[in-house]
Structure 1
Amino acid sequence: MRTQRNVLVTLVLIGLIACLGIGTLATVALIALRTANTPTIPTTESATQETARGLPTLPPPSRLPTTETTVPATVSLPPDIAAQMDEIEQQVIRIRGLQPRFSLRRELLTTSQLHQKVIDDFLKDYTPAEVEKDVTTLSLFGLLPRNFDLYTLLRDLYTEQIAGFYDDETKTMYVIQDEAFRGPQRSTYAHEYTHALQDQTFDFRGGLKMTDETCEQQSEYCAAVQSLIEGDASLTEQFWLLNAASPEDRQQIQEFYQNYQSPVFDTSPEFLQQDFLFPYRQGLDFVLALYQKGRWSAINAAFEKPPVSTEQILHPEKYPNDAPLEVNVPDLSPVLTGYELYDEGEIGEWYFYLILAYGEKQAWRLSESIAAQAAAGWGGDVYQVWRKPQNGETLLLVNIRWDSENDAKEFYDAFQQYGVQRWGQPLSSTANASRWQESTAGQSILIREKSRTLWILGSDAKAVTNALEALQTLIPQP
């Protein structure tokens, strides 16, 4: 069980309540690409009628904020902007078919105040020890350099081109007061107001359990639910753009996108770029698949029975029946003398794809198609990082269950290629086991047994051997 936050969890929690410029641009950029494949979009009137026929049972009142505990809307906005926001809210209500339970509070902040709020709300509890842990784990995965300054990147990234956001804890929409309210801001407001409707209907924290505690233990679940939340808001935003936005809105958005610059995002590690966009791109694909089956009622039903893994987001046909398999490892503390369990969690199909396709060094990477095929068929996993406090030596253990023996073999074959590109030619290699030796990483071992694979990476060869011998009941030693 996870007891500490890692970067996978950090990104989930930050992304849940802060749809900043990145998410908005992801949606805008996809408009032209996806319109041809989008189902016939109803008018706002017909969409409302269709949704009203298929809404699921609403959550119990105990899961929803009450009017007595909420802050009445107090808008100190210029009257014309307030009127535009009111109009956009009504348009989104008609498009999405969810009814608000109370008025949304809006708060004006300067750009610098909003930047500081993002840092205070989302990064204030991200301690140096947690940052070091995340960098250690991600470097073992081959995604980051060992001394990467992750905190500064997250701080800068989440204050780059910020456009405002909905805060599900205070039930407040934070709006920048020193920018014009034009097409990009209006589109963003439609997206963010969708989150307010989602929260008031399905309750992010109480109903969907999107809390620190849940996400520290179930990062795959939170990544999947975040993708549902953002995919739904992105689809609603597209409906708004196509049905309610003015020609001026669309022109202004196009001009904004053509001139947009995001130097922090563009120079960040490529796996992080892909991961930040996952809830918007793959989340939108997932929600579109639901919409094609049952329109808004199918999406509402997914909030009542949320997806539980990135595998389900990547393969909508696997939702809701293909749940992750349970994976465990025995206690290794008796054989790992001097080591302490430093980090533990699950990787999931999406991060296996990132490891293979978007490693730290370009030379390590497999093609996207090979990486995607290798990661598909994921059934469940657990990883552990063990560390010696006195000298920082580490050992990574990853135990994976696949849907079939063939899926395990596909991953094993692809990982062999990845291993050669990362560590060089193996010391030994068979159809079921490969071992590499690298001067800084130490030994890396990959074993396949039927529908399971085991990966051990450690700087101490003796510790690697001891761990392997202790796990021989789980996966026989080669």
Structure 2
Amino acid sequence: MNPTLALSLALVVVLAACAAPVEPGDGIGQDGTTVPDGPVTATSADPDATNGSETPGRDNESAFDPLGWENGYWYNASIDVDQSDGLSAAELDAYVSRAMARIELLRGLEFLEPVGVRVVSRENHRRTVAEWTNVTEAERVWNDQVWEALFVVGEDRDVTEEFAVLFGSNVFGYYDPETGDLVVVTSDANPAIPTGTLVHELVHALQDQHFDLERADLQGATQDQQLAVDGLLEGEANYLMYQYLARCGQWECVGTQASGTADGTRPNDGLLYTVLQPYSDGPVFVDALVQFGGWEAVDARYAAPPAATAQIIDPSAPAPEPVGYTDTARNGWERFDAGKNGTDSAGEASIAVMFWYQARAYGAPVVDDRALFDVSARYDRYNYTTTPSDGWAGDVVVPYRNPAGGEHGYVWQTKWHSVSDAIEFRDAYLSVLAEHRAVQFDGTTWVIEDGPFADAFRVVWDGRTVTVVNGPTVESLDDVRPDLAR
């Protein structure tokens, strides 16, 4: 698997850091998950329209499968489930089946087949993550250049290993489209399954049964597209999870004891908050679709998935503009064959995290690092709008290598909606270079002499375009992108 595609695995995982601190106005679900305050409007047939004390009769049980009934359980059935000592097979069946029935009502879609549940140890899960991140050396180095361009993972770290830590140590569970099973990751001998985790992953199973999560157009051809598609998938899963938990005041919900499902290993914050963007902005995006056109509007986006995180951050944002790129490298410098035909796209969300991370980790005066946690929209958990990333219209990241010298570099070409947007990005980027003690070599060229991002940089502004050329030396910049040479 290509390591950047590990981001697409965000569509089937719930990270431990997904739950934000409790904020004023929030309620708490019975399993401790934060629930946005405010009324919840049913967007399908009202789940509470029938009398919860009655179970409609049926003459032919094999043909009986209405919304709100699954595997013998109505959505409002009382079940005897105590997770304090783990879950028996009967308890798990009741817990999962009733949750499926409730999700059907909230979403207005029928589960087409049962969903299995597997429990795996943290150790076994890490072995699975190792398979997810098993890539060629060329793919590994290619991806290192992409994240180095974002100043998130420097030359002293391997981004594939950093993702292995993120996904290996901070996952509650995930849905596996290959088997159709929900996988619970735990270090407990008798694990409890939080209601929020169960509902979130069951929604992914429902998505898979109706829309096929392994479809090519739901994978995303670039990092930005992957995150954008995840905004739809994770957005719907979190949105329905919030709807479900908010009803726990009306519905009987299963309590959850504390369960040690993550080992507490802290991942790279830049990677973490990039991966979390779909979980945060996605529910707001889905809510906007539902309010505008009901669940039919959400269904329509499966036929035409979002193309950029800019559209998840702001549902009214236009589609990204093409960024024309011509390879002019010389003297042994060449593009990688690995990864998305040798190119990638960072996108607005990753650029926003880039500037936030520079402020948080290095003190760069580019954005207020507290702004990431300053949110006002219902369902939102983190704020991915920053001045230097707002106005993004498109970008392409092109990693390069010089096999003879064992050297690496990249070109990052960005396009903005206005000249002023481009200037704001350029000025913020130059502030990042300054914070890393870059020395100016000439009018467009800077050199970071030491540290994990030590390299030469050329930053060229041209109207709505800002291009960054990177290489190990000033001379290499002329070879990586000759048309921007001194």
> TM-score, normalization: structure 1?
0.76
Matched, 1:231 2:235: yes
Shift of the 156–380 alpha-carbon distance from structure 1 to 2, 3 Å rule, reads: closer
Alpha carbons 1:356, 1:371 under 8 Å: kept: no
Matched, 1:210 2:218: yes
Query: Tell me, which stretches of 5 or more residues in structure 2 are unaligned?
Result: 28-33, 50-70, 72-86, 337-341, 372-383
Q: How far off is 1:378 after superposition?
A: 0.9
Instruction: State the Cα deviation string for residues 203-238 of structure 1 (Å, max 9, x = none).
Output: 2223x6234xxx4x3332221111110111111111
Among the aligned pairs, what percent are the same residue?
22
Shift of the 40–186 alpha-carbon distance from structure 1 to 2, 3 Å rule, reads: closer
Secondary structure of the 1:323 match is coil
**What is the one-letter code of the residue matched to 1:326?**
P
Secondary structure of the 1:242 match is helix
Matched, 1:19 2:14: yes
**What is the one-letter code of the residue matched to 1:5?**
N
Q: How far off is 1:298 after superposition?
A: 2.7
Alpha carbons 1:161, 1:262 under 8 Å: kept: yes
Distance in 2 separating the partners of 1:453 and 1:103: 51
Matched, 1:439 2:449: yes
Alpha carbons 1:81, 1:181 under 8 Å: kept: no
Shift of the 376–461 alpha-carbon distance from structure 1 to 2, 3 Å rule, reads: same
Matched, 1:165 2:174: yes
Q: How far off is 1:278 after superposition?
A: 1.2
Alpha carbons 1:398, 1:455 under 8 Å: kept: yes
Alpha carbons 1:27, 1:280 under 8 Å: kept: no
Q: How far off is 1:408 after superposition?
A: 1.2
The number of residue pairs the alignment matches comes to 419
Instruction: State the Cα deviation string for residues 452-475 of structure 1 (Å, max 9, x = none).
Output: 111112222223134554258xxx
Alpha carbons 1:325, 1:379 under 8 Å: kept: yes
Tell me the equivalent position of 1:415.
429
Distance in 1 separating the partners of 2:295 and 2:252: 28
Tell me the equivalent position of 1:323.
319
Instruction: State the Cα deviation string for residues 321-363 of structure 1 (Å, max 9, x = none).
Output: x111111221223xx2122213521111112222222139413
Secondary structure of the 2:178 match is coil
Instruction: State the Cα deviation string for residues 97-120 of structure 1 (Å, max 9, x = none).
Output: 11122222x143342575256336
Shift of the 327–413 alpha-carbon distance from structure 1 to 2, 3 Å rule, reads: same
Q: How far off is 1:377 after superposition?
A: 0.9
Q: How far off is 1:310 after superposition?
A: 0.7
1:374-385 maps to which residues of 2 (within 5 A)? 374-385=388-399
Shift of the 153–416 alpha-carbon distance from structure 1 to 2, 3 Å rule, reads: closer
* Between structures 1 and 2, the one with greater helix share: 1
Which of 452, 458, 469 aligns to 2:465? It is: 452
Tell me the equivalent position of 2:152.
143
Which of 82, 90, 108 aligns to 2:118? It is: 108
Which of 65, 77, 95 aligns to 2:106? It is: 95
Tell me the equivalent position of 2:295.
296
Secondary structure of the 2:388 match is helix
Tell me the equivalent position of 1:338.
332
Shift of the 443–89 alpha-carbon distance from structure 1 to 2, 3 Å rule, reads: same
Q: How far off is 1:172 after superposition?
A: 1.8
Alpha carbons 1:309, 1:348 under 8 Å: kept: yes
Tell me the equivalent position of 1:35.
36
Task: Give every structure 1 segment of 4 or more consecutive aligned residues whose post-TM-superposition deviation is greater than 6 Å.
Answer: 27-30, 245-248
Distance in 2 separating the partners of 1:128 and 1:93: 45
Tell me the equivalent position of 2:2.
5
Q: How far off is 1:294 after superposition?
A: 3.1
Shift of the 448–154 alpha-carbon distance from structure 1 to 2, 3 Å rule, reads: closer
Secondary structure of the 1:158 match is helix
Secondary structure of the 1:456 match is strand
1:261-272 maps to which residues of 2 (within 5 A)? 263-264=264-265, 267-272=266-271
Tell me the equivalent position of 2:417.
403
Secondary structure of the 2:109 match is coil
Q: How far off is 1:379 after superposition?
A: 0.9
Distance in 2 separating the partners of 1:109 and 1:371: 38
Alpha carbons 2:343, 2:398 under 8 Å: kept: yes
Q: How far off is 1:127 after superposition?
A: 3.9
> TM-score, normalization: structure 2?
0.75
**What is the one-letter code of the residue matched to 1:18?**
V
Secondary structure of the 2:456 match is strand
Tell me the equivalent position of 1:463.
476
**What is the one-letter code of the residue matched to 2:98?**
E
Q: How far off is 1:90 after superposition?
A: 0.4
Shift of the 83–361 alpha-carbon distance from structure 1 to 2, 3 Å rule, reads: closer
Secondary structure of the 1:308 match is coil
Tell me the equivalent position of 2:198.
189
Tell me the equivalent position of 2:401.
387
Secondary structure of the 1:87 match is helix
Which of 78, 85, 95 aligns to 1:84? It is: 95
Shift of the 383–461 alpha-carbon distance from structure 1 to 2, 3 Å rule, reads: same
Matched, 1:221 2:225: yes
